[in-house]
Amino acid sequence: MQLKRVVVTGLGALTPIGNNVASYWEGLKSGKSGAGPITHFDNTHFKTKFACELKGYNAEDYFDRKEARKLDKFAQYAMVAADEAIADAALPLDSLDKFRVGVIWGAGIGGLETFQNEVLNYAAGDGTPRFNPFFIPKMIADIAPGNISIKHGFMGPNYATVSACASSSNALIDAMNYIRLGHCDVIVSGGSEAAVTIAGMGGFNAMHALSTRNESPETASRPFDASRDGFVLGEGAGALILEEYEHAVARGAQIYCEVMGGGMTSDAHHMTAPHPEGIGVVRVMENCLRDAGMTPDQVDAINTHGTSTPLGDVAELKAISKVFGSHAPNININSTKSMTGHLLGAAGAIEAIASILAMKHSLVPPTINHTVADPNIDSSLNLTLNKAQAREVNVAMSNTFGFGGHNACVLFKKLNA
């Protein structure tokens, strides 16, 4: 069958370096760090005392007090970003066939703070099970797309993808395929996460995954640098409106780019560590290119998973060199996690947005905080270090990988480029 074309017609972002798409882009192009001391809870006894929190976020700016109490932060963030994307796309909500509008959303964890607080409250009590009646609906990962659909009346496919840090990239790929196959006209897709909590920080510290550069939080996320010592936890959401091309053209929609293809693989290797030979990462990029019907030499930019971990960064860059060969040094490779931190299940969404904005503005955001070259990294690669680089970007790739060996890759292209 002839697959439908899929385009992006709206964007929404709530990130540690900007609470909407415009401010997020300003933060990206200027190389702004979103890291700072934790304010959400007392960090006195934690090994890592900093994170990339949202700045100036107040739930009551977006929800009435009663509604906000029914929503975990991860679901609040989802609704805020989705609302911005829907408005940006100028979707004609009154005339859409809402049975052909879906919501496919990614979250690696879901309502962690809700779960944490309910358990703490129970443990502090007398053993009588007194739980908030909203405990379960606040906690489950699929409540985010559920609430988006309820608010706007979208009655197409509605579910959450959960694949750790690849979750929102998986959501985008699923959304693309539903539209390609003719099942939907529009899908709200993306991801959200709110794991800067006692349990989140404590859990990641226990597995030695986080940076402990407490003396300089703003420089702690340093992908590809020889002195990197772990990732910096972030929070927030990203939303994209994916739309069938003819449907978008018929209503005169703005079109940011075309979604050309996606790839998914598994390392089948280790609970948390990447495959040392990068087999799954090599194959996921190859699958993505094949799905898009494109060749390696057409790719101009890659927003890497690039978490700032000793093993992961090297494995990913080796995989890129293998897939792209002699063209690899011509690609602007970057990691926007150097600025936003790692948003876990929301990472793929905000990084897809960064890739799309790089195409729109012909500017690749930098990988900040690089000071010492890693001898294990090919020095011929252009890692877009410390300053944004101007260049025409017609094709951009976004990589995300998750605990459990989940790999996802999405490819975007300027329309008719």
> Looking at the structure, do residues 74 and 136 belong to the same domain, yes or no?
yes
Given the residues 165, 257, 288, 409, select the one marked as catalytic: 165
Spatial contact of 190 and 240, defined as CB atoms under 8 Å apart: yes
Choosing from 193, 226, 250, the residue where a domain stops is: 250
Cβ burial of 379 (10 Å; 0-12, 13-18, 19+) is: exposed
> Looking at the structure, do residues 162 and 65 belong to the same domain, yes or no?
yes
Question: Tokens 């790999």 label which residue?
Answer: 407
Q: Give domain status of residue 255, yes or no.
A: no
Q: Give domain status of residue 279, yes or no.
A: yes
Q: Give domain status of residue 199, yes or no.
A: yes
pTM (whole model) above 0.75? yes
Q: Give domain status of residue 340, yes or no.
A: yes
- How many independent structural domains does the chain possess? 2
> Looking at the structure, do residues 217 and 300 belong to the same domain, yes or no?
no
pLDDT tens sequence across 235-262: 999 999 999 999 999 999 999 999 999 9
> Looking at the structure, do residues 90 and 192 belong to the same domain, yes or no?
yes
Q: Give domain status of residue 269, yes or no.
A: yes
Given the residues 152, 247, 305, 370, select the one marked as catalytic: 305
**Cα end-to-end span (Å), the chain:** 24
> Looking at the structure, do residues 43 and 87 belong to the same domain, yes or no?
yes
CA dist., res. 384 & res. 151, Å (int) = 40
CA dist., res. 261 & res. 125, Å (int) = 52
> Looking at the structure, do residues 211 and 281 belong to the same domain, yes or no?
no
pLDDT tens sequence across 308-354: 999 899 999 999 999 999 999 999 999 999 999 999 999 999 999 99
User: 269 an active-site residue?
Assistant: no
> Looking at the structure, do residues 277 and 160 belong to the same domain, yes or no?
no
Q: Give domain status of residue 1, yes or no.
A: no
Cβ burial of 339 (10 Å; 0-12, 13-18, 19+) is: buried
Range of the domain at 331: 260-413
Please compute the mean of the pLDDT values over residues 28-46 and round it to a whole number: 98
* CATH at residue 337: 3.40.47.10
User: 184 an active-site residue?
Assistant: no
> Looking at the structure, do residues 237 and 336 belong to the same domain, yes or no?
no
Residues 6+ apart with CB under 8 A from 217: 33, 35, 36, 37, 49, 50, 232
Confidence class of residue 405 from pLDDT cuts 50, 70 and 90?
confident
Does the pLDDT of residue 277 top 90, yes or no? Answer: no
> Looking at the structure, do residues 98 and 220 belong to the same domain, yes or no?
yes
User: 361 an active-site residue?
Assistant: no
Choosing from 220, 250, 280, the residue where a domain stops is: 250
> Looking at the structure, do residues 235 and 266 belong to the same domain, yes or no?
no
Residue 348: name the closest of 173, 176, 110, 168 by CA: 168
> Looking at the structure, do residues 88 and 162 belong to the same domain, yes or no?
yes
> Looking at the structure, do residues 244 and 287 belong to the same domain, yes or no?
no
Q: Give domain status of residue 67, yes or no.
A: yes
Residue 15's CB is within 10 A of a number of other CB atoms, namely 33
Given the residues 247, 342, 370, 406, select the one marked as catalytic: 342
Does the pLDDT of residue 115 top 80, yes or no? Answer: yes
Choosing from 250, 279, 312, the residue where a domain stops is: 250
Q: Give domain status of residue 360, yes or no.
A: yes
pLDDT tens sequence across 341-350: 999 999 999 9
Helix (H) or strand (E) holding 163: none
Question: Using only C-alpha atoms, what is the Rg of the chain?
Answer: 20
